[in-house]
Structure 1
């Protein structure tokens, strides 16, 4: 047994590399094929956005026979309201949602992770329990509440709850991250006369940039792609988000503008891609280190 272990340990690195090379090639081949399979619909949509209208569904090829950007112009200005209005509405709602989630959820998470108060574990369990409640269960009570407040057909139902720490997932995520920060930092700050608020602002937040970026990215993407919420609360076309704007290109009673739909769908991916590109390092770090002791 000892000789077997010794011979395996003494094997040249080149032999180990040769044995693992076929497996590595097979794994990477499967990953590449899977990636191409997942990317094909996206690439086809981009290709269809620059095709003439009569050629969109005539081929599954990714290379168009001719380039035509008229779909972008038609999609941007073809409605009663320019598509830029929908972009602006989505941007305002998404940015406010990000700010609300990051600020409110970090405060709630700091209280659960660092402060001592009566019933802390009980309220934390209640908060986790809300994750198990389907959104549709609370939809009607929320709608009635916002209707009585006169908020329907405004962005308030989509934004105000975010400033009240309504996303339990982000609270839980931040609690796990905050618990990984050594308490000795809090104790040292208290000895220097720092209050709980100052510890949160000067110590916890600067050390928690990865998890804050993770919450910001997910909040932005989920809000930017949200269709159901705006569909319920926004009735005026001037308040439509991009998802509701895209729906206007498809009409069951008349001809649908597929070229305009694909063109505007392509444009709606740009902000999400850029947002993720700038914060991907913090996102990966936040997910990888959440819950780890440092």
Structure 2
């Protein structure tokens, strides 16, 4: 076997291995999509089959009808309201805070930054009860406020991500802008923000994904079914006192993944650019 043939054989083995690995990783997703077209009673009977012998497109129609005259149109609308406002709030506030840590000198800056970073280590289970008590005292339970308002005070991971990106921007730009008569706010809005758009977009994609996929927070704070997001509405399919419509549940679960996949494929270049550039300078 010549050296050229050995290289071709090595590439062939690599590609076959990658294809098999990709199939293994995607198998649960493919199984879910296939099950969304199966008859509900056959989902687990024919669990070994990836796709059904008889396709039931009616699962999507039945699933979209929802429960108690509340269709998934309402659930999707609620989700988009929560996700959109929370994402805007988290990105705007995190960018402002990151700019403060990156460019503004104030007392105990390193101490406050260390405290902020330590909050990333707190598990949600530790602050879940104190937050619920506080929001209940505010009268915010069964509203969207507990899901939205905290995002307007910054997200530590996003602050760190955007801060690292800002550190790659030369401070000479700030000095040149001040010579031209710009103040701190003008420098932030006209110079810094346009340059950190990749990091902001990366944070926005993560925020969209996390808020869209969030289940525990809506479960804690929302009590009225008409206010449920999609993540919480999917739980309604699994009723221990009734027969679960597995086909419809998998159909709606499949649809719930579409917005995330669309957002990811459209803005994936920002993820790569934002994360890679944020790590260039400590």
Q: How far is the alpha carbon of 1:30 from its aligned partner?
A: 2.5
Structure 1 residues 128-167: aligned runs within 5 Å: 128-165=117-154, 167=155
Q: How far is the alpha carbon of 1:22 from its aligned partner?
A: 4.2
Q: 2:29 aligns with which of 42, 66, 72?
A: 42
Residue deviations 1:102-142, cap 9 Å, x none? 10000000000111111111111111111111111111111
Q: How far is the alpha carbon of 1:164 from its aligned partner?
A: 1.0
User: For residues 19 and 187 of structure 1, do their structure 2 counterparts lie closer, same or farther at Cα, with a shift above 3 Å needed?
Assistant: farther
Q: How far is the alpha carbon of 1:55 from its aligned partner?
A: 2.6
Structure 1 residues 1-294: aligned runs within 5 Å: 20-59=7-46, 60-80=48-68, 81-165=70-154, 167-293=155-281
TM-score by length of 2: 0.94
Larger Rg: 1
Q: How far is the alpha carbon of 1:62 from its aligned partner?
A: 2.4
SS of residue matched to 1:50: coil
TM-score by length of 1: 0.90
For residues 50 and 144 of structure 1, the distance between their equivalents in structure 2, rounded to whole angstroms, comes to 43
Residue deviations 1:231-269, cap 9 Å, x none? 111111011111110000011222111011001001101
Q: 8 Å contact 2:64–2:252 — kept in the other structure? A: yes
For residues 136 and 124 of structure 1, the distance between their equivalents in structure 2, rounded to whole angstroms, comes to 23
User: For residues 239 and 78 of structure 1, do their structure 2 counterparts lie closer, same or farther at Cα, with a shift above 3 Å needed?
Assistant: closer
For residues 179 and 136 of structure 1, the distance between their equivalents in structure 2, rounded to whole angstroms, comes to 33
Q: How far is the alpha carbon of 1:19 from its aligned partner?
A: 5.3
Q: 8 Å contact 1:75–1:260 — kept in the other structure? A: yes
For residues 229 and 287 of structure 1, the distance between their equivalents in structure 2, rounded to whole angstroms, comes to 27
User: Where does structure 1 lack aligned partners over 5 or more consecutive residues?
Assistant: 1-13
Question: Which piece of structure 1 moves more, 106-115 or 76-85?
Answer: 76-85
For residues 108 and 20 of structure 1, the distance between their equivalents in structure 2, rounded to whole angstroms, comes to 52
Q: How far is the alpha carbon of 1:179 from its aligned partner?
A: 0.5
Q: 8 Å contact 2:35–2:51 — kept in the other structure? A: no
Q: How far is the alpha carbon of 1:48 from its aligned partner?
A: 1.2
Residue deviations 1:43-97, cap 9 Å, x none? 1111111122233223222232122111111111141111111111111111111
For residues 51 and 241 of structure 2, the distance between their equivalents in structure 1, rounded to whole angstroms, comes to 31
For residues 218 and 35 of structure 2, the distance between their equivalents in structure 1, rounded to whole angstroms, comes to 27
SS of residue matched to 1:132: coil
Aligned length: 278
For residues 207 and 291 of structure 1, the distance between their equivalents in structure 2, rounded to whole angstroms, comes to 16
For residues 93 and 71 of structure 1, the distance between their equivalents in structure 2, rounded to whole angstroms, comes to 27
